[in-house]
Structure 1
Amino acid sequence: MASYLVTGCSRGLGLALITRLATLPKTEVGTIIATARQDNSVRLTEIASASSGRVQMVKLDVTNESSVKEAVLAVEHQLQGKGLDYLVNNAGVSDWSPTGLEGMDNLNETFNVNVTAPHLVSRAFLPLLRKGDKKTVVNISTTLGSIAMADAFRALPTPAYKITKAALNMLTVQYAQQYADDGFTFLGISPGWLRTDLGSRRADLPVEVGAEKVLDTIQKATPEQNGKLVNIHVPGWETREGPNQYDGKEIPW
């Protein structure tokens, strides 16, 4: 039974990941730690209440180092001496700047959530991950953070999001290189363009599909993928026209 911790679970992909995890067999998924900055998500509370203790809610502001340290202690208590198998750094923010770089006035804030926070959380949970069997850390990224694909997404006015996700990809590589010999796998996953508050109703995929495919990718991850950025695989989307294909392959930097 693998244990999971997911950040940013009050809505969007994070909530969908917890919802999906709670439906999987107990022989496959054990303790599920759902973290959020606020503990007022009605749906998340409902899922936890119906899980017979399997889903545990932990308050965590990923940008606050004191909150991160307190969350580690809470998770350590809930795991009852066992290690953490999977950490999913999902919490993130985007921007909208119709005038492009001239209107980008929130780069520091976006960087703090999308890059610094995954570092703070990953670093703090390393001791519990070392005790786990899977030792896998997943950073939820995006093809918009690929420098090689930048031209395909030129028209999207989200410069801070693109810049910080590119930095997150490098953070993934740095962790992958440093902890490979310790048996860790650090992996970036692009969940696709999902119908969430961040992705909008015009997006390609229902968030439930994104969550299912992200978890499929996580559970099939191998040490050979350490430090890579990979796409989800959605049958029928492998050769779609446009920049978004969900073929399960490695995404170019």
Structure 2
Amino acid sequence: MASYLVTGSSRGLGLALVSRLASLPKAEVASIIATARQDNPHQLKEIVNASSGRIEFVKLDVTDKTSVEEAVKSVEHKLKGKGLDYLINNAGVMDWSKDGLESMDNLNEIFNTNVTAVHLVSRAFLPLLRKGEKKTVINISTTLGSIARAKVYAQGRSPAYKISKAALNMMTVQYAQEYAGEGFTFLAVSPGWLRTDLGSSYADLPVETGAEKVIDIMQKTTPEQNGKFVNIHVPGWEEAEGNNQYPGGEVPW
């Protein structure tokens, strides 16, 4: 009966993750903390209200240190002395620079949300994670952050996003090395190109598929995978034509 916290739960993958977790048996998922910057946004509120108390909302702006500290206190109160098992750092933003690097003027902003904020949240929740049984942190990344595959995605005009996710992958490794001795597992997961506001309607997969596969990876991960960067597995997409394949396993760095 594990506890879960998801950042950026108001829409897209975050909302789908919360919905998917709520659909699983209570023996697997005892409690879900759904967080977002807005004060209980409409779609999330509907899911929370229908959960019979299993999902609880906590306001959290991942880029604001004070908001993060207040959220930790709120989550600690809601867990009633128990630890947090899983933290999913999902909140993130993506840029579009039509002229590529020349027009990239938002690197600090993107980096602050996609990297620095993940550090703020992970660091702040470490005490509660230490009290949990699973001690697992999932950082939502992307194959666009793979340096080895940079040429494949060269035409994508989102340089700040790519740079920030490459940095997130390295930060995942740093956390993995630092806390391996305490039994933690830190994992970077690429959820696939999903049909969300961020991914667009042209994306490969429904957001529900991405959420299902991320949770499957998360629940099956072991300390032996600590610090890895992994892809989802979607049957039929193992050798798909085009830039994206979803065979599972590790992503080239």
TM range (shorter): over 0.9
Structure 1 residue 98 and structure 2 residue 98: aligned? yes
Structure 1 residue 241: Cα displacement = 1.3
Cα separation, 1, equivalents of 2:243 and 2:155: 12
Partner of 1:246: 246
Partner of 1:212: 212
Cα separation, 1, equivalents of 2:239 and 2:35: 36
Question: Secondary structure, in 3 states, of the residue corresponding to 2:210?
Answer: helix
Cα separation, 2, equivalents of 1:241 and 1:134: 37
Question: Secondary structure, in 3 states, of the residue corresponding to 1:87?
Answer: strand
Q: Structure 1: any 5+ residue segments left out of the alignment?
A: none
Structure 1 residue 9 and structure 2 residue 9: aligned? yes
Answer with 241-250 or 50-59: which moved more.
Answer: 241-250
Partner of 1:37: 37
Partner of 2:173: 173
Partner of 1:163: 163
Partner of 2:47: 47
Q: Structure 2: any 5+ residue segments left out of the alignment?
A: none
Partner of 2:126: 126
Aligned residue-pair number: 253
Cα separation, 2, equivalents of 1:214 and 1:206: 13
Cα separation, 2, equivalents of 1:246 and 1:73: 38
The percentage of aligned residue pairs carrying the same residue is 75
Partner of 2:184: 184
Deviations 1:159-201 (A, max 9, x none): 0000000000000000000000000000000000000000000
Structure 1 residue 40: Cα displacement = 4.3
Within 5 A, what are the aligned runs for 1:39-118?
Answer: 39-118=39-118
Partner of 1:146: 146
Question: Secondary structure, in 3 states, of the residue corresponding to 2:151?
Answer: helix
Q: Which runs of 4+ in 1 moved over 3 A?
A: none
Cα separation, 1, equivalents of 2:18 and 2:39: 14
CA RMSD of aligned residues (A): 0.5
Question: What letter matches 1:143 in structure 2?
Answer: T
Structure 1 residue 43: Cα displacement = 1.3
Partner of 2:230: 230
Cα separation, 2, equivalents of 1:164 and 1:43: 28
Cα separation, 2, equivalents of 1:145 and 1:57: 30
Structure 1 residue 155: Cα displacement = 0.3
Question: What letter matches 2:96 in structure 1?
Answer: W
Q: Is the 8 A contact 2:37 2:61 kept in 1?
A: yes
Q: Is the 8 A contact 2:40 2:59 kept in 1?
A: no
Q: Is the 8 A contact 2:40 2:57 kept in 1?
A: no
Cα separation, 2, equivalents of 1:236 and 1:148: 24
Cα separation, 1, equivalents of 2:243 and 2:249: 14
Question: What letter matches 1:163 in structure 2?
Answer: I
Question: What letter matches 1:111 in structure 2?
Answer: F
Cα separation, 1, equivalents of 2:170 and 2:243: 22
TM-score by length of 1: 0.99
